[in-house]
Structure 1
Amino acid sequence: MALTLPTVPARLARPWPWPRAWPRPALPAAGALLRRPSWLAAATVLLVCVPTGEKDVTAAVHVTAADLASLALVALTALDLLRGRAQGLGRAACLVFAGVVCAAAAATVTSIDPATSLTGFVRLVQIFVLVPASVICALRDRTDLRLVLGAFVLAALIEGGVGAEQYLTGTGASYTGQPIRAVGTFGALDIMAMSGVVSFGLLAALALALAARRGGWARRALFAAAAFLAFPLAVSFSRGSWIATAVGAVALLLRADARLALRSAVLALAAAVVLVGGLGAGGGGVTERLSSIGSVSGGNEDHSVSDRYDLWATARAIWADHPVSGAGPKSFQQLRDSHAPLRLSSGSDAADSTIGFEREPLLSPHNMYFLVLSEQGLVGMVAYGALFLALLLGCLRRAGDAAPAAIGLLGWVLVDFLYADIGGTTTVLTSVILGVAAWWALPSAEARG
């Protein structure tokens, strides 16, 4: 008797479809991260909140978690460029960045101490060239920009919350003999860091709110965040940050809507009167701090202001001896004592519950423009001036929903450079902001198209 085999359905008789017909597994999180490197730019911003502990401010190099994230961003961007996955820089961006590199290199080669200046050269290239260029390549669309701006807001809320708690509970840094100065997680030795982070977050929140849908919950939440951040900024008692934030906010609002800027100014003035005058929210300290900006003589002079002016005079004296290429990166601290006026203090006072009382040495002129002039000379001033002017004019010229954020944050940096320079934990945030501004101001030909 013959054996009859069962009939095999045609759909089963076909060759086994593995693996082509099977659905491909989704890319892991690491793969998604590689496809959107703006996450690393956002991580750079957020990682500045990681406490670094009290550090030796005289050390040549400080590497933080945010610095490591920025270097990872640079490495990933370089890899994407080699593989053709990222858009390159435009001609204008290449020119201004190359000018900064050449100026820093010339100052390093002709430095009074080339070995010490070499570490300064690396830092300058990181902050003013490599990280900004990487941010330009990482910001591929408006989603990337919102991601980075959102990181600024989140970092500001973290630091602002800590700073507000320090003021209200009297656990901050010393100010007029009382532990009420808000410094966030940065400590008394990095006294201006929190105010910078909060300022960036306030401006980013305003920019995102103006771009959000009218009447939506996101718009209301972002305006509320900006309003909250005004309080820790006030009790940071940082005059330079106050002025820079005011200028940045005005520029941002004018770029977005002139009528809105006028209404916001009226509301801000009314809120200041109520909070400071009516409720006394840090009013005495804030009023005293504002009035001290011009107090450089007389019995009630503010030594922090007079010291700053003396440091500027010291930088000018150093430049007079090294007019073309400067004395070299990181040379100001070596030449300070031989060029400073006799009345310049040996350091500024710093105190909190962690470090006790310390004298922090004055190692820079607390003015970025004078720092460049003294350490990189006229060559450096031309190079950095070209960079800043190109960014400013580009942000003013281009219109669009990203323009308010770019002009507001850039305006903050350029004004703050009148009262401060690079240095400290949050320096890397300056490079991210320059990258955001350059992405908008100096797009490549493909981006314009």
Structure 2
Amino acid sequence: MVSLAAPPTGRGRPVVVPALIAAVVLGLAAGFAPREALVGLLLLGVVVTLLLRVDWAALAVVGTAVFEDYLTLVDPRAVKGLAAVLVCSWLLRRCAGLRHSSGLGPVLVCALVFVGVLLAATVLHANGRTGLDILLRYAGFLAVLAVLTDCMRGGLAPARVARVYVVSCTLASVCGVLVYVLGADRRVGGPIEDPNDLAFFLLAALPLAFALRRTARRAWTYDLAAGLVLLALLGTLSRGALVGVAVMLLAALLMGLVRLRLALGFAALLGAGLLVVLAAFPQLVDTSLDQKGHVAGQNISERLDLWQSASAMTLESPVLGLGPGSFSLQHRDYADSLPRDINHHLSVAHNTYLEISSETGLVGLAAFLAILVAAYAGARSRWGRTGDTLGAAVCVGLLGTAAAAAFVTEQYFLPLWLLAALGAGLAPARGRGA
């Protein structure tokens, strides 16, 4: 008599046992807390999907960066968690053998030098918990720079990354303007608490929007996006951003990214939009301008004092600086006239370059500037060889944000690192293979 049941082999146990355990745990959780179990299950599904699709994880980080404060309200670990998922997804991809042979490239070589300077400055000047926090923030952005560059060299189209960033900044602009119109803020902020930081995000999106309209089926959608972004940017009343806009407009005209006729037409439409806002909300606009004018003199005085402190710190330790986190801890010790009775905490230099030089010395500043210069060279090479307007847009964006960074501290936010990654991803490389 022949038995119809096959003898057990034990091959299915490694798969069946974890599945049964997961089913039991999920069933118990659903019984005691069904809502939390559903949220946890959805969150787990999203994390697993992002771990398996590194390109989706990269786009998620780029698309959510401008909504940092909104995500923090949901969970303070959300922003760092997304970056960690991106790095883990990339590591899984590399371990699976999905790699290419394009090498590091100039941008990542300069980034490695900057990493070495950061570590050396940290070892030389231990600044406690504050220094460790700053070091981890740098580590997160440098990791995102490396992963984004590798993804764009391995198949993720730079135009797709730029498109997601422009869309997210457009949505953030709408949120900021609505919050401003409702009277919750006296300057356009919204997704980013500090209007100056929001303006920096929007500044990087402007040239990308104009470049993407060249190849879009509906160019007017990017015209609308650029208009909303610029309207919100003006509503931030950020003087550094206005300097960046002026630099970008001049560069875009010289490079041919924007024609004079288009620029004049766009300016006319923007002027009409501003007139509508002034007519609809005159008191709100007057209040914003009055408050900005009231604090303008104090802000200028404070920034000059902060720049003097950062310069003095750089001169004291010009090679490797005083270590990450040293400016927020020690800048008052180097100030001659910084007011002691101010009603807000001054923890940044409001100048990207002076703060980096005070904490990592001239060597660190040179490495950081080398990252931006190498990215500019890569994007310009792509534009010169193929006529790709996205390369020109990245060049324009780097020029504008680099100018604005002289008035704000922006190395702890995505735009500069994103533009550097786009420049590295656009740079022609030999020997690229799947």
Distance in 1, Cα, partners of 2:433 & 2:328 = 44
- Cα distance in 2 for residues equivalent to 1:286 and 1:444: 53
On the 8 A contact 1:205/1:226 being kept in 2, the answer is yes
Which residue of structure 2 aligns with residue 296 of structure 1?
none
CA–CA separation in structure 2 for the residues paired with 1:421 and 1:303: 18
Which residue number corresponds to residue 168 of structure 1? Answer: 181
Q: Which residue identity does 2:83 align to in structure 1? A: S
SS at match of 1:181: coil
> What is the CA–CA distance in structure 2 between the aligned matches of 1:42 and 1:252, rounded to whole Å?
26
- Is 1:428 the counterpart of 2:414? The answer is yes
Query: Offset at 1:161?
Result: 1.2
Distance 1:409 1:394, change over 3 A: same
- Where 1:102 maps in the other structure, the secondary structure is helix
Give 1:221 shift.
1.1
Task: Call closer, same or farther: CA 1:446–1:34 in 2, change over 3 Å.
Answer: farther
1:73-124 CA distances to partner (integer Å, 9 max, x unpaired)?
A: 2222233223331335434234212210111111111115256423322322
Distance in 2, matches of 1:151 and 1:106, equals: 36
**Map of 2:354 onto structure 1:** 370
Which of 188, 192, 201 in structure 2 is aligned with 1:186? Answer: 192
Structure 1 residues 370-409: aligned runs within 5 Å = 370-399=354-383, 400=386, 401=388, 402-409=390-397
Give the total of aligned pairs: 379
Q: CA deviation at 1:275?
A: 4.6
Q: Structure 1: any 5+ residue segments left out of the alignment? A: 1-27, 56-61, 173-179, 293-298, 348-358
Q: Is the 8 A contact 2:352 2:411 kept in 1?
A: no
Residue pairs, 1:8-19, within 5 angstroms? none
- Relative distance call for 1:207 and 1:287 in structure 2 (3 A) is farther
The structure carrying a bigger strand percent of its residues is 1
Q: Distance in 1 between matches of 2:233 and 2:331?
A: 31
Distance in 2 (CA, whole Å) between partners of 1:92 and 1:308 is: 34
Worse-superposed segment, 310-319 or 245-254: 245-254
Q: Cα distance 1:313–1:319, how it changes in 2: closer, same or farther (>3 A)?
A: same
Query: Aligned partners of 1:270, 1:287: CA distance in 2, in Å?
Result: 23
How far apart in 1 are the matches of 2:431 and 2:227? 38
2:138 and 2:47 map into 1 onto residues whose CA distance is 30
Distance (whole Å) between structure 2 residues aligned to residue 64 and residue 47 of structure 1: 13
- The two structures have a TM-score, normalised by structure 1, of 0.74
Task: Indicate yes or no: 2:340 matched with 1:323.
Answer: no
Task: Give the letter for the 1:73 counterpart.
Answer: L
Is 2:431 the partner of 1:446? Answer: yes
Change (3 A) 1:181 1:29: closer
Report what 2:84 is aligned to. Answer: 71
Aligned partner (choices 269, 278, 283) of residue 280 of structure 1: 278
> What displacement does 1:273 show?
4.7
Query: Residue 399 of structure 2: which of 411, 435, 438 is its match?
Result: 411
SS class of match (2:278)? coil
| Alpha-carbon shift at residue 330 of structure 1 (Å) | 0.4
Q: Unaligned regions of 5+ residues in structure 2, if any?
A: 1-44
Alignment of 1:288-327 (within 5 A): 302-327=297-322
Question: Which residue identity does 1:186 align to in structure 2?
Answer: I
Distance 2:46 2:73 in 1: 35
Give the TM-score of the pair, scaled to structure 2. Answer: 0.76
Q: Which amino acid aligns with 1:280?
A: L
Q: Percent identity?
A: 23
Query: Which amino acid in the other structure matches residue 180 of structure 2?
Result: Y
1:98 aligns with 2:98: no
Q: Deviations over 1:402-446 (max 9, x none)?
A: 31332233233322221112376xx134433321122124x5422
Moved more, 30-39 or 132-141: 30-39
Residue 333 of structure 1 deviates from its aligned partner by 1.4
Partner of 1:14: none
Aligned residue for 1:302, secondary structure, equals helix
Match in the other structure for 2:54: 37
Q: Which amino acid aligns with 2:189?
A: V
Q: Which residue in the other structure is 1:220 paired with?
A: 220
CA drift of 1:142 comes to 7.7
CA contact under 8 A between 1:44 and 1:67: conserved in structure 2? no
When the two chains are superposed, the root-mean-square deviation of aligned CA atoms in Å is 3.5
Compared CA separation, residues 143 and 389, structure 1 to 2 (3 A): closer
Whether the 8 Å CA contact 2:213–2:222 is kept in 1: the answer is: yes
Amino acid at match of 1:198: L
> Hey, what's the Cα distance between the residues in 2 that align with 1:398 and 1:131?
22
Inter-CA distance 191–273: structure 2 relative to 1 (3 Å threshold): closer
SS at 2:305 equivalent: helix
Distance 1:373 1:134 in 2: 26
> Tell me, what secondary structure is at the counterpart of 2:344?
strand
Distance 2:111 2:180 in 1: 41
Quick check: 1:38–1:144 contact (8 Å CA) kept in 2?
Answer: no
Give the Cα separation in 2 of the matches to 1:243 and 1:270.
20
Give the aligned residue type for 1:203.
P
